[in-house]
Structure 1
Amino acid sequence: MGDFYLDKQTIADLQLFDDSKGSVFACFNQTITYGGEDALRDLFGKPLTDRDRLQKRTSTIRFLMDNVEELVFDKTAVDFVDYYLKRPDRPKSFSVYTGIRNAVLHFFSPNQAYYTKRRGIAELFDMLAFIAKLCEAYPPVADSPLLADLRESLGKLTRHPLLAVYVAMPQKRIKRYAVERMDFLLRKKYHEEALALLEKVYMLDAYYAIAKASKTMHLTFPEFHENESVVVEDVFHPLIGNPVANSLSLTGGQRVNFVTGANMSGKSTLMKAMGIAVYLAHLGFPVPAARMRTCILEGLVTTINLADNINEGYSHFYNEVKRVKLVAEQIRQSNRLLVIFDELFRGTNVKDAYDGSLRILQAFSGLNKGFFVISTHIVEVAHALASNEKIKFNYLPTHIADGKPVFDYRLREGITDDRIGLWILKNEGVFELLEGDLPTAIN
């Protein structure tokens, strides 16, 4: 399989990367270091279609969730190590003479450069000792892939006996001559190894943030199988407080799930929850569901919060058509694409919307590849397709209590004719304003 297909509209629909705290990324971003946040952002932006790579990510998160109760990084110390290792004034060579000379000079007139070297080296050895203790706490047979990488990177650095001594005794006082020698080792001879281990520490910070957030939000690991199906049980939206969980299934025999329901009944939220779960599963992350069983998909396309494109002069309907065309193009290239389309063709007249929706859904149901979750405000389309056994019909109900619509946001099988648009207009007093006495226009 190739790259997982995802576009800007889908990212915006699912609020994956909003800069505000109201994003899915923000739910997981409990990193401590700046480098850890960058590592998490990199992981979060790379959904996978390779089972082995997904398994590697999943096993690392699972290991941290099951075994590491608390992992504390000294943010200031790690940031200083980053600054020290990436300074441009790296030593080009080292000799006993230059080491002694610089040690004497720094004894009589220490400067900022010497302070940076001394502190950077000390902080680095504290960090290496922390990694060594973490690796010692778990035998190699119980390693996660990331812990195994950390163990390997640490081993490459401690091949040099002097570095090994200070990793074993990080509190050992570093003399001025040793500072010069270790500065050469860490920023010249073993510079790549030191940087590689720092990146592994950032990755550890990122993975621990994922594990910590997953435990807090009560997420579960998805199960991947070879069957042509995507099934989520009790999926919920992670950005909503006290969310209502629902179950959705898409199979090789019923690749289209057609959802009906009145405005505000929860269709958009349900579709976003489904999309988020699928996206997180292909990151190798736990998902907001009681259980999820899915084949590995090749991409995700959603159309939920679509706007007019004023700059290009496109209407809402024309943008909808372009989205459907994009889906058709991607379906030709991908066997396993999940398509989520909320309120299909809401931007045109009822007749065109009905005819267009009917033909598009008939076409989707006739495909032997891809999966589709579709809703529409035109319930007549659902009734016209009711005998199509390749479409699964679900609805979110509405009932009136004390003259007001009440929603329980729980998905049921079947089709609903519930509509509350007229009630909303009446409740907002629109008709009274229009039909009442209005001020006389001034000629």
Structure 2
Amino acid sequence: MSFLTDKQSLEDLNLLGKYKSNSIYSLFNKTKTSGGEKLLEALFQTPLSDADQINDRSSVFNYFHQQHLVFPFQRENVEAAESYLNEGEEGNFILSVIGILQKKVGNMVLQSAEYGVLLKGLQSMVDLLQDAATFFGQLKQSGDHPFQDKLDKTKLIFKDQRIINLLTEKRIEELSVLKIARYNYLLRSALCKEMRLLFEVLYELDMYIAVSDVARSRGMGYAKALPATKCLLKASGLKHPVLEKAIANSISLNQQENVLFLTGANMAGKSTWMKTIGASIYLAHLGMPLAADSFEFSVMEGIYSSINVPDNLNMGYSHFYAEVLRVKEVAQKVSERKNLLVLFDELFKGTNVKDAYDATLAVSEAFAAYTNCLFVISTHIIEVGEALKERCENIQFKYQPTVMDGLVPRYTYQLKDGITNDRQGMMIIENERILEIIDGSK
């Protein structure tokens, strides 16, 4: 079973994008190698759908979170060493000797650069092995995470007497051709599988350490995944992972209360809270750290959102029609009885108030009946909430208040029970003196 989402949801939640401003991926991408970066990118694109796998991965991140390790390798050095290995395996030791002799003669007679390139590559590999031997010696033994077996296999590489001998070498260029050939054959052929394992583990370590460093510096925690049958999301002290000064809130949804109906004035924080919930659930399915004091969730089959739905001029779609098509698309997924998290921010804001009221009420009530899904629905049409109170028992109502400091609104971003009665729109317009500006232009 794969985790379902789409481009619209990924963009709404700003999850992906190496160069995208404030994306969740860019927050965690502090890797030092291209291999580590590729692993992190692949991880971000493949959320897990099994509770045990999620908890196993979380335990690995948490292990490195506690270790306070520094990844001692630089991108250029690692790439140079891997490039040396990738130049090809030596068929046997004799062929290795012959090949190196030919390169050395070519260097002496024809001033060929091949011999120098080989020496440089071999030296970079030796330097990396020396640093790796020191680094792996610092890793504490722990059987509490599934990555330990891979670490143990990698550590065995440095107990091989041939590697021990190699680690004593300082300047490869000063060695005899025979010794260079022996080391060249050892790394490219005799221990080729072990060297591949070493690079694989180094890239994983790069990713794990980079992510856990971000988590530690930001005081993040780790989620506990439960089987999909639980239909649960329970978190305390939950914040948006990117916002350093975000206000923490709590959430508790289950099959008996599977809909959070959120009200509040514009700028009160509704959209940010919805993005916080969506991004955190996505990170939880990756087994990655998230900004919460505690976070418990049942595995879901996907996330769909409607937060920043654009119009489509090429297709001739108005903003309202684009919203309608988006709701229809999500409704089709929900009707398939999949366990989904659905986020709807300000439904049908592209039409008149009467239609928006009727449509938001009807759609919210219809979705609420699918108790295998969790929904967060926001609106500033507070009358919808009052009507839903009378019709549905499985909806919880929260709002984010606006506090007036005289004539100036202030937003606490703290969730409160109930439905807001804040109506400061006209006051804000008056504060900005828009009508005076218009009158003055006559």
Shift of 1:6: 1.6
Residue 310 of structure 2 is matched in structure 1 by 307
Task: Work out whether residues 107 and 113 of structure 2, in 8 Å CA contact, stay in contact via their aligned partners in 1.
Answer: no
Q: Which residue of 2 aligns with 1:125?
A: 126
Q: CA shift at 1:281, angstroms?
A: 0.7
Structure 2 CA distance for partners of 1:154 and 1:116, relative to 1, 3 Å: farther
- Number of aligned residue pairs: 434
Once the two structures are TM-superposed, the CA of residue 63 in structure 1 deviates from its matched residue by 1.2
* Residues 140, 148 of structure 1: 8 Å contact kept: no
Counterpart for residue 61 of structure 2: 61
Q: Residue 189 of structure 1: CA displacement?
A: 5.3
* Structure 2 equivalent of residue 389 of structure 1: 393
Residues 178-257 of structure 1 aligned to structure 2 (within 5 Å): 178-188=179-189, 190-226=191-227, 227-257=230-260
- What pairs with 1:66-85 in structure 2 (closer than 5 Å)? 66-85=66-85
Q: Distance in 1 between matches of 2:169 and 2:271?
A: 55
Query: SS where residue 385 of structure 1 aligns?
Result: helix
Name 1:373's counterpart in structure 2. Answer: 376
Q: Which residue of 1 aligns with 2:101?
A: 101
1:321 aligns with 2:320: no
AA matched with 1:112 = A
The residue aligned with 1:441 is none
CA contact 2:224–2:296 (8 Å) conserved in 1: yes
Q: How does 1:254-269 map to 2 (within 5 A)?
A: 254-269=257-272
Mapping of 1:15-164 within 5 angstroms?
Answer: 15-18=14-17, 19-87=19-87, 91-92=90-91, 94-95=93-94, 98=98, 101-102=101-102, 105=105, 108=108, 111-138=112-139, 141-142=142-143, 144-153=145-154, 155=156, 162-163=162-163
> Following TM superposition, by how much is the alpha carbon of 1:205 offset from its aligned partner in structure 2, in angstroms?
0.5
**Structure 2, unaligned runs of 5 or more:** none
**1:176 matched to which residue of 2?**
177
| TM-score, normalisation: structure 2 | 0.90
Q: 2:411 — aligned with what?
A: 407
User: Could you tell me how far 1:314 is from its partner in structure 2?
Assistant: 1.5
Give the CA deviation at 1:294: 0.8
Please give the alpha-carbon distance, in whole angstroms, between the structure 1 residues aligned to 2:206 and 2:383. 52
Q: Deviation per CA, 1:12-46: give whole Å up to 9, x if none.
A: 11111232342111111111122222222122222
Mapped to 2, the partners of 1:135 and 1:143 lie a distance apart of 17
* Secondary structure of residue in 1 paired with 2:250: strand
Native 8 Å contact 1:275 1:340 kept in 2: yes
* CA drift at 1:90: 5.4
Instruction: State the shift of 1:389 in Å.
Output: 1.8
Deviates more, 1:346-355 or 1:180-189: 180-189
Distance 2:170 2:150 in 1: 25
1:235-260 CA distance string (max 9 Å, x none): 11122231111111211101000000
Change (3 A) 1:99 1:143: farther
Contact residue 128 and residue 154 of structure 1 kept, 8 A: no
Alignment of 1:430-441 (within 5 A): 430-438=434-442
Q: What CA distance in whole angstroms lies between the structure 2 residues aligned with 1:369 and 1:74?
A: 47
Q: Percent identity?
A: 35
Greater displacement, 107-116 / 242-251: 107-116
Query: How far apart are 1:122 and its partner, in Å?
Result: 2.6
Note if contact 2:241-2:276 (Cα within 8 Å) is conserved in structure 1: yes
Paired residue type of 2:67: N
Query: Do 1:146 and 1:204's aligned partners in 2 also have CA atoms closer than 8 Å?
Result: no
Match of 2:301 in 1: 298
Residue 428 and residue 436 in structure 1: after superposition, are their counterparts in 2 closer, same or farther (change >3 A)? same
Q: 1:120-177: per-residue Cα shift (whole Å, max 9, x none)?
A: 223223323443444444465547433432432564x67975345325x354755322
Q: Name the stretch that deviates more: 252-261 or 302-311.
A: 302-311
Describe the shift of the 1:161–1:106 C-alpha distance in structure 2 as closer, same or farther (beyond 3 A): farther
Conserved in 2, the CA contact under 8 Å of 1:15 and 1:23?
yes
Q: Is the 8 A contact 2:262 2:399 kept in 1?
A: yes
Length-normalised TM-score, structure 1? 0.90
Q: Distance in 1 between matches of 2:130 and 2:417?
A: 58
Alignment of 1:398 onto 2:397: no
Aligned to 1:405, the other structure's residue is in SS state strand
CA distance in structure 2 between the partners assigned to 1:46 and 1:170 by the alignment? 42
In 2, distance between residues paired with 1:125 and 1:348? 67
CA contact 1:103–1:177 (8 Å) conserved in 2: no
Deviation at 1:193?
4.3
The whole-number CA distance in structure 2 between the counterparts of 1:33 and 1:375 is: 42
Worse overlay, 301-310 or 425-434: 425-434
Asked if structure 1 preserves the Cα contact closer than 8 Å seen for 2:136 and 2:155, the reply is: no
- C-alpha offsets along residues 194-216 of structure 1, whole Å, 9 cap, x if unaligned? 33431321121011001100001
Report what 1:429 is aligned to: 433
Which sits farther off after the overlay, 196-205 or 336-345?
196-205
Aligned positions of 1:264-275 closer than 5 A: 264-275=267-278
- SS state of the match for residue 17, structure 1? coil
Choose the corresponding residue for 1:418, options 403, 419, 422. 422
What amino acid does structure 1 have at the position aligned with 2:5?
L
- Structure 1: gaps spanning 5 or more residues: 439-443
Relative distance call for 1:356 and 1:334 in structure 2 (3 A) is same
